Amino acid sequence: MTTGKPPSTESIDPALPLGDFYAAAGLAPPPLQLMPPESVPTPYDALLVHDRDMTSTLEAHHGQLSSLRGLARREGPGRLDREVVLVGDRDGVALEFGAIRIHLDRFEPQARRLIDECRRPLGAILAEFKIAYDSRPVAFFRVPPDRIIRDALDCGDAEWLYGRHNRLTGRAGGVLADVVEILPPEKPK
Protein backbone atom coordinates (compact mmCIF):
# COMPACT_ATOMS: atom_id res chain seq x y z
CA MET A 1 0.00 0.00 0.00
CA THR A 2 2.84 2.35 -0.75
CA THR A 3 3.77 4.49 -3.70
CA GLY A 4 7.07 4.94 -5.46
CA LYS A 5 7.93 8.43 -4.28
CA PRO A 6 11.59 9.46 -4.16
CA PRO A 7 13.30 10.11 -0.83
CA SER A 8 12.29 13.42 0.67
CA THR A 9 14.68 16.32 1.02
CA GLU A 10 12.70 17.97 3.81
CA SER A 11 14.52 18.77 7.03
CA ILE A 12 13.93 15.97 9.52
CA ASP A 13 16.35 15.04 12.28
CA PRO A 14 17.33 11.52 11.14
CA ALA A 15 18.04 10.43 14.74
CA LEU A 16 14.56 11.19 16.08
CA PRO A 17 12.87 9.62 17.91
CA LEU A 18 15.84 7.37 18.79
CA GLY A 19 17.82 10.34 20.10
CA ASP A 20 15.01 11.11 22.56
CA PHE A 21 15.39 7.68 24.19
CA TYR A 22 19.12 8.25 24.60
CA ALA A 23 18.52 11.73 26.03
CA ALA A 24 15.99 10.36 28.53
CA ALA A 25 18.65 7.89 29.70
CA GLY A 26 21.24 10.67 29.98
CA LEU A 27 23.27 9.24 27.09
CA ALA A 28 24.53 10.62 23.81
CA PRO A 29 23.31 8.63 20.79
CA PRO A 30 25.93 7.12 18.52
CA PRO A 31 26.68 9.40 15.56
CA LEU A 32 24.71 8.66 12.41
CA GLN A 33 26.85 9.17 9.31
CA LEU A 34 24.45 10.15 6.54
CA MET A 35 25.01 8.66 3.11
CA PRO A 36 23.30 8.82 -0.27
CA PRO A 37 21.11 5.80 -1.07
CA GLU A 38 23.44 4.62 -3.84
CA SER A 39 26.26 4.30 -1.26
CA VAL A 40 24.38 1.83 0.96
CA PRO A 41 26.31 -1.44 0.44
CA THR A 42 24.89 -4.78 -0.62
CA PRO A 43 22.93 -6.57 0.87
CA TYR A 44 21.65 -3.66 2.98
CA ASP A 45 20.67 -1.63 -0.08
CA ALA A 46 17.93 -4.13 -0.99
CA LEU A 47 16.64 -4.06 2.59
CA LEU A 48 16.76 -0.29 3.11
CA VAL A 49 16.58 1.58 -0.21
CA HIS A 50 12.93 1.17 -1.14
CA ASP A 51 9.56 2.75 -0.46
CA ARG A 52 7.99 -0.17 1.41
CA ASP A 53 7.50 -0.72 5.11
CA MET A 54 10.28 -2.64 6.84
CA THR A 55 8.04 -5.20 8.51
CA SER A 56 6.97 -6.87 5.26
CA THR A 57 10.41 -6.38 3.68
CA LEU A 58 12.25 -8.08 6.55
CA GLU A 59 9.65 -10.83 6.93
CA ALA A 60 10.01 -11.68 3.22
CA HIS A 61 13.82 -11.56 3.41
CA HIS A 62 14.00 -13.80 6.48
CA GLY A 63 11.09 -16.06 5.53
CA GLN A 64 9.19 -15.63 8.78
CA LEU A 65 6.69 -13.41 10.52
CA SER A 66 7.89 -11.06 13.23
CA SER A 67 6.88 -9.50 16.51
CA LEU A 68 8.20 -6.80 18.80
CA ARG A 69 10.39 -6.92 21.85
CA GLY A 70 9.77 -3.61 23.56
CA LEU A 71 12.74 -1.89 25.16
CA ALA A 72 11.22 1.45 26.15
CA ARG A 73 8.20 3.63 25.52
CA ARG A 74 7.38 7.29 25.94
CA GLU A 75 4.01 8.95 25.60
CA GLY A 76 3.26 12.49 24.56
CA PRO A 77 0.16 14.37 23.46
CA GLY A 78 -1.45 12.25 20.74
CA ARG A 79 1.65 10.13 20.20
CA LEU A 80 3.49 7.03 21.32
CA ASP A 81 7.25 6.58 20.96
CA ARG A 82 8.57 3.01 21.12
CA GLU A 83 12.13 1.72 21.19
CA VAL A 84 11.95 -1.86 19.98
CA VAL A 85 13.63 -4.86 18.47
CA LEU A 86 11.82 -6.62 15.62
CA VAL A 87 12.38 -10.35 16.16
CA GLY A 88 11.62 -13.37 14.00
CA ASP A 89 8.70 -15.40 15.34
CA ARG A 90 10.29 -18.70 14.31
CA ASP A 91 13.82 -18.27 15.62
CA GLY A 92 13.68 -15.22 17.93
CA VAL A 93 16.61 -13.63 16.08
CA ALA A 94 16.77 -9.82 15.99
CA LEU A 95 15.82 -8.52 12.54
CA GLU A 96 15.97 -4.79 13.31
CA PHE A 97 16.52 -2.30 16.14
CA GLY A 98 14.75 0.99 16.06
CA ALA A 99 12.58 3.68 17.46
CA ILE A 100 9.27 4.88 16.14
CA ARG A 101 7.08 7.89 16.86
CA ILE A 102 3.48 6.99 16.08
CA HIS A 103 0.83 9.72 15.84
CA LEU A 104 -2.05 7.92 17.55
CA ASP A 105 -4.69 10.47 16.58
CA ARG A 106 -4.35 9.28 12.96
CA PHE A 107 -5.66 5.79 13.82
CA GLU A 108 -9.06 4.39 14.68
CA PRO A 109 -9.55 3.09 18.26
CA GLN A 110 -9.04 -0.63 17.47
CA ALA A 111 -5.75 0.04 15.69
CA ARG A 112 -4.65 2.40 18.50
CA ARG A 113 -5.27 -0.35 21.05
CA LEU A 114 -3.01 -2.76 19.14
CA ILE A 115 -0.36 -0.08 18.71
CA ASP A 116 -0.46 0.68 22.44
CA GLU A 117 0.06 -3.01 23.30
CA CYS A 118 3.53 -2.80 21.66
CA ARG A 119 3.53 -6.45 20.58
CA ARG A 120 2.98 -6.13 16.84
CA PRO A 121 4.93 -4.09 14.32
CA LEU A 122 3.16 -1.04 12.94
CA GLY A 123 3.52 -2.46 9.41
CA ALA A 124 1.45 -5.50 10.39
CA ILE A 125 -1.23 -3.29 11.94
CA LEU A 126 -1.36 -1.07 8.84
CA ALA A 127 -1.83 -4.18 6.70
CA GLU A 128 -4.49 -5.69 8.97
CA PHE A 129 -6.57 -2.50 8.99
CA LYS A 130 -5.92 -1.85 5.28
CA ILE A 131 -4.64 1.64 6.05
CA ALA A 132 -3.35 3.28 2.87
CA TYR A 133 -0.06 5.09 3.35
CA ASP A 134 3.07 6.30 1.63
CA SER A 135 6.49 5.20 2.83
CA ARG A 136 9.20 7.80 2.23
CA PRO A 137 12.77 7.23 3.37
CA VAL A 138 14.21 10.63 4.29
CA ALA A 139 17.76 9.59 5.25
CA PHE A 140 20.15 6.66 4.96
CA PHE A 141 23.08 6.23 7.31
CA ARG A 142 25.71 4.03 8.84
CA VAL A 143 26.27 3.99 12.58
CA PRO A 144 28.93 2.53 14.86
CA PRO A 145 26.95 0.34 17.26
CA ASP A 146 27.15 1.25 20.93
CA ARG A 147 26.37 -1.06 23.84
CA ILE A 148 22.60 -0.49 23.56
CA ILE A 149 22.50 -1.37 19.86
CA ARG A 150 24.95 -4.29 20.27
CA ASP A 151 22.81 -5.76 23.04
CA ALA A 152 19.57 -5.25 21.10
CA LEU A 153 20.89 -6.81 17.88
CA ASP A 154 23.40 -9.26 19.35
CA CYS A 155 25.82 -7.98 16.73
CA GLY A 156 29.13 -8.74 18.39
CA ASP A 157 32.03 -6.63 17.19
CA ALA A 158 30.47 -5.21 14.01
CA GLU A 159 32.17 -1.93 13.11
CA TRP A 160 29.26 -0.38 11.18
CA LEU A 161 25.55 -1.02 10.91
CA TYR A 162 23.26 0.47 8.27
CA GLY A 163 19.86 2.04 8.62
CA ARG A 164 17.39 4.65 7.52
CA HIS A 165 14.89 7.17 8.78
CA ASN A 166 11.51 6.52 7.20
CA ARG A 167 8.34 8.61 7.29
CA LEU A 168 4.91 7.04 6.85
CA THR A 169 2.17 9.41 5.77
CA GLY A 170 -1.53 8.72 5.39
CA ARG A 171 -3.09 9.08 1.96
CA ALA A 172 -5.54 11.57 3.46
CA GLY A 173 -2.57 13.61 4.66
CA GLY A 174 -0.70 13.82 7.90
CA VAL A 175 2.23 11.91 9.31
CA LEU A 176 1.40 8.46 10.68
CA ALA A 177 4.88 7.69 11.97
CA ASP A 178 8.58 8.52 11.85
CA VAL A 179 10.90 5.59 12.36
CA VAL A 180 14.63 5.02 12.72
CA GLU A 181 15.49 1.50 11.50
CA ILE A 182 18.89 -0.12 12.07
CA LEU A 183 19.74 -3.55 10.67
CA PRO A 184 22.03 -6.16 12.23
CA PRO A 185 24.96 -7.49 10.21
CA GLU A 186 23.81 -9.98 7.58
CA LYS A 187 24.76 -13.52 8.47
CA PRO A 188 25.83 -15.90 5.69
CA LYS A 189 22.99 -18.17 4.59
Q: Which amino acid is at 78?
A: G
Distance in angstroms (rounded) separating the CA atoms of residues 165 and 33? 12
Distances (CA, A) of 14 to 45, 73, 91, 94, 135: 18, 19, 30, 22, 15
All domains in the chain, ordered by first residue: 30-182 (3.40.1410.10)
Distance in angstroms (rounded) separating the CA atoms of residues 170 and 61? 26
Model confidence at 188, in pLDDT bands (50, 70, 90)?
low
The pLDDT tens digits for 148-163 are 999 999 998 899 999 9
Distances (CA, A) of 30 to 26, 160, 184, 185: 13, 11, 15, 17
Contact between 44 and 54 (Cβ < 8 Å): no
What 3-state class would DSSP assign to 139? strand
The pLDDT tens digits for 33-43 are 999 999 999 99
pTM of the model: 0.91
The pLDDT tens digits for 110-125 are 999 999 999 999 999 9
- Is pLDDT at 9 greater than 90 in this prediction? no
The pLDDT tens digits for 76-100 are 999 999 999 999 999 999 999 999 9
